[in-house]
Structure 1
Amino acid sequence: MSNVVKRTNTDEMEEKITIRLLTMNRSRQPHEETDGSIQPLQNNEQIEKATKEANLIVERANQEAEQIRRQIEKEKQLFAKEKEKIYQQAHHEGYTKGIQLGQEKGYRKVEELIQFAKSIVDDAKIEYQKCVDKSEQTILTLSLKVAEKILCSSLHENEERFLPLVKKAIDEVKNYKEVQIYVNPSRYALLVKKKDELLPHFHDGQLYIYPDENLSETGCIIETDGLRMDVGLDTQLREIKKKLFELFIGDEE
Structure 2
Amino acid sequence: MWRSRNPELWESSAGWKKTGKLSLHGAEETISLSRLIKSRSPINNAQKAAAIVPIVQLQINQPDDSALEPEISLQAKVKSEEMISRAKSEAETVRHAIASEKENWETEKRRLEEEAREEGYREGLQYGRQDGFEQTSGLIREANSLIEMSRTDYHEKMESSEETIVTLAVRMAEKIIGHTLEENSELMSGMVRQLIKEVKDYEEIKLFVHPGRYEYVRSQKNELKQMLTNEQELYLYMDEGLSEFDCFVETSFGRIDASVQTQLQQLERQLKERLNEGDPE
Larger helix share, 1 or 2? 2
User: Alignment partner of 1:201: what SS?
Assistant: coil
Question: Which residues in structure 2 correspond to 1:6-17 (within 5 Å)?
Answer: none
**Following TM superposition, by how much is the alpha carbon of 1:157 offset from its aligned partner in structure 2, in angstroms?**
2.5
Unaligned ranges ≥5, structure 2: 1-120
Q: 2:218 aligns with which of 192, 210, 216?
A: 192
Rg comparison, structure with higher value = 2
C-alpha contact (below 8 Å) 1:222/1:228 kept by paired residues? yes
C-alpha contact (below 8 Å) 2:248/2:259 kept by paired residues? yes
Matching residue's letter, 2:228: F
Residue of structure 1 in register with 2:279 after alignment: 252
C-alpha contact (below 8 Å) 1:181/1:222 kept by paired residues? yes
Question: Which residues in structure 2 correspond to 1:230-241 (within 5 Å)?
Answer: 230-241=257-268
Q: 1:182 aligns with which of 186, 208, 227?
A: 208
**Residues 1:207 and 2:234 are matched in the alignment:** yes
C-alpha contact (below 8 Å) 2:205/2:250 kept by paired residues? yes
Moved more, 203-212 or 107-116: 107-116
User: Alignment partner of 2:201: what SS?
Assistant: coil
Matching residue's letter, 2:274: L
Give the number of equivalent residue pairs: 162
Matching residue's letter, 1:212: D
Matching residue's letter, 1:231: A
Q: 1:229 aligns with which of 252, 256, 259?
A: 256
C-alpha contact (below 8 Å) 1:219/1:232 kept by paired residues? yes
Question: Which residues in structure 2 correspond to 1:62-81 (within 5 Å)?
Answer: none
C-alpha contact (below 8 Å) 1:160/1:190 kept by paired residues? no
Residue of structure 1 in register with 2:176 after alignment: 150
User: Alignment partner of 2:192: what SS?
Assistant: helix
**Following TM superposition, by how much is the alpha carbon of 1:106 offset from its aligned partner in structure 2, in angstroms?**
4.5
**Residues 1:216 and 2:223 are matched in the alignment:** no
**Residues 1:121 and 2:147 are matched in the alignment:** yes
RMSD across aligned C-alpha pairs, in angstroms? 3.1
Matching residue's letter, 2:141: Q
Residue of structure 2 in register with 1:55 after alignment: none
Separation (CA, whole Å) in 2 of partners of 1:205 and 1:224: 11
Separation (CA, whole Å) in 1 of partners of 2:264 and 2:223: 25
Structure 1's 194 and 98: CA in aligned 2 closer, same or farther, altered over 3 A? closer
Separation (CA, whole Å) in 2 of partners of 1:124 and 1:226: 53
Q: 1:243 aligns with which of 244, 247, 270?
A: 270
User: Alignment partner of 2:250: what SS?
Assistant: strand
**Following TM superposition, by how much is the alpha carbon of 1:109 offset from its aligned partner in structure 2, in angstroms?**
3.5
Question: Which TM-score applies when normalising by structure 1?
Answer: 0.55
Deviations 1:130-185 (A, max 9, x none): 55666676555434322221221222223332111011011111010000011111
